[in-house]
Each structure stands twice: as C-alpha cells, then as structure tokens.
C-alpha cells in the first residue's frame, strides 16, 4: 500500500493512527506530498479529484478521504475495532468523529487566514472561528466524561488528530487546558498510546527531515 502523506496534516494523522492500531503500518509506503487548497497539484488530482491528502493506494484502488481510509484499514483489512457494530456505540463514535474532523477543518481554515498578508485576512472568518471554538470545546469536555470507559474508536482518533493539530499549529492561541479539565486529563493520558506517540506532527520543511530521521 502507498499513502500520500505529510507529517503536518491532521487528516493524514487519522489514517496513520488507524494504520498503527490495525498493525498495518509496516505494509504502507509513505509518499511525501504537499497539498494546498489554493494550488491544486496534478499528481494529487490524478489519484483524488479533490486534490487532497491523504490518499491510500491499495487493492488497485485510490482510497480517499481519511474516513474512508480508516474504514478500509480497520473494517476491510482489520478486525473492525475502530468502527463499533452496535448502532448506539457507532452513532456515538460517528458524532465524535464529526466533532474531531470539524475542529480540524476549522483549524486548517484558521491557519490559512492567519498566513495571508494582514490586509487580505478575513476578520469575519477569524471572528467566526473564535466564536465556534468554545462551543466545540464544551462539547468535547462533555464527551470526554465517557472516554475512560469507552473502547478506543474512530471518534477518539479524529479528536486526537484535531487536538494534536491545535497543539502543533496554535500552541499559545487557544488555552483550553485549564478550562476543560476532563478533556485535558484524557489528552495527557492518551499520549502514551503507541499509535498516538508514533504519529506526532512535525514540519519536515523546517526540520529538513531531521525529525523524520529521529523517528525512524
Ligand atoms: N475530508 C478530507 C479533508 C482532507 C484535507 O483537508 N486535507 C488537506 C491537508 S490537511 C488538503 O489536502 N488540503 C488541500 C486542499 O484542500 O486542496 C479528509 O478527511 O481526508
């Protein structure tokens, strides 16, 4: 299998966590990729008409997006542990999955605005993101009350990807740790899970690959 990959993408991280959880990571070759919403790349469009990463090449198919890749690795190739078969457990997992993915999307848009020239930044979009964040974290804090007793599933994977991306890109912009103690306690605890510890973000463009070497 081949994965169009970047160590800076929260959606790629979801796929990587699923690959570790299912024990399939050793079968996946990583293809370093740069994806930008403003400059779609031909090599990505050839495998994903949306021009986004991650994309997994497996069984002669190009599989996208991150949710489909996680489903393929876990339910088609693995035991299905990340996608509960009980409808109520699955509904809960999918709601948390949506919450995590939604936060990742919001953060990606926020980063795009922030990296624009000051005069081109949209104050309206930045204000909208700032208004949503407390609501998202209140919902996460409520969900986190059950995290200690739930089997690990795709909802937790998506939330880890989003919170990890927040720490990576916005380490001092949104101080949630003291305000949301249940979520914060779980976040500290989950860092030692092997699939989480093995997939931390780094910026290969800044590190010049040093971080990648340290991890191999
Ligand atoms: N729904 C997609 C979102 C993927 C996504 O937004 N990927 C970003 C990188 S983190 C990307 O490829 N951006 C380029 C673009 O949107 O054209 C998924 O879950 O995989």
Q: Residue 134 C-alpha to ligand 1 middle, in angstroms? A: 24
Residues of the chain with CATH 1.20.1050.10: 87-197
Q: Determine whether the shortest distance from the Cβ of 52 to ligand 1 is under 6 A.
A: yes
Which homologous superfamily is 2-80+199-215 in? Glutaredoxin (3.40.30.10)
152: closest CA among 59, 22, 12, 13?
22
The whole-chain average pLDDT of the chain stands at 93
- Closest ligand 1 atom, CA of 52? 12
Q: Residue 20 C-alpha to ligand 1 middle, in angstroms? A: 21
Q: Determine whether the shortest distance from the Cβ of 48 to ligand 1 is under 6 A.
A: no
pLDDT digits (tens, 9 = 90+) for 26-53: 999 999 999 998 899 999 999 999 999 9
Residue 160: pLDDT over 50: yes
pLDDT digits (tens, 9 = 90+) for 73-101: 999 999 999 999 999 999 999 999 999 99
- Asked if 67 and 39 count as a contact pair (C-beta separation under 8 A), the reply is no
Mean pLDDT of 46-65: 98
Q: Determine whether the shortest distance from the Cβ of 67 to ligand 1 is under 6 A.
A: yes
Which residue has the least CA distance to atom 11 on ligand 1?
A: 52
Q: Determine whether the shortest distance from the Cβ of 65 to ligand 1 is under 6 A.
A: yes
Q: Determine whether the shortest distance from the Cβ of 11 to ligand 1 is under 6 A.
A: yes
Q: Determine whether the shortest distance from the Cβ of 53 to ligand 1 is under 6 A.
A: yes
What torsion, rounded to 10 degrees, do the Cα atoms 74, 211, 106, 36 define?
Answer: -90
Q: What are phi and psi of 18, to 5 degrees?
A: -65, -40
The domain defined by 87-197 carries CATH number 1.10.580.10: no
Q: Residue 35 C-alpha to ligand 1 middle, in angstroms? A: 8
87-115 vs 10-21: helix crossing angle, rounded to 10: 140
Residues of the chain with CATH 3.40.30.10: 2-80+199-215
């Amino acid at each position: 299998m081949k994965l169009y990959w970047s160590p800076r993408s929260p959606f790629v991280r979801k796929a990587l966590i699923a690959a570790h959880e299912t024990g399939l990571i050793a079968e996946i070759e990583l293809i370093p990729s740069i994806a930008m919403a403003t400059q779609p790349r031909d090599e990505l469009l050839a495998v994903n008409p949306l021009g986004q990463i991650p994309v997994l090449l497996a069984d002669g198919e190009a599989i996208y997006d991150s949710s489909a890749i996680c489903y393929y690795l876990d339910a088609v190739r693995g035991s299905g542990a990340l996608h509960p078969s009980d409808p109520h457990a699955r509904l809960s997992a999918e709601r948390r999955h949506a919450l995590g993915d939604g936060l990742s999307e919001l953060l990606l848009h926020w980063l795009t605005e922030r990296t624009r020239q000051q005069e081109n930044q949209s104050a309206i979009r930045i204000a909208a993101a700032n208004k949503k964040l407390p609501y998202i974290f209140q919902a996460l804090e409520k969900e986190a009350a059950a995290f200690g007793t739930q089997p690990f599933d795709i909802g937790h994977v998506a939330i880890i990807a989003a919170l990890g991306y927040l720490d990576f890109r916005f380490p001092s912009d949104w101080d949630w740790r003291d305000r949301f103690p249940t979520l914060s306690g779980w976040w500290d605890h989950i860092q030692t899970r092997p699939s989480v510890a093995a997939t931390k973000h780094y910026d290969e463009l800044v590190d010049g690959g040093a971080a990648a070497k340290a991890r191999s």
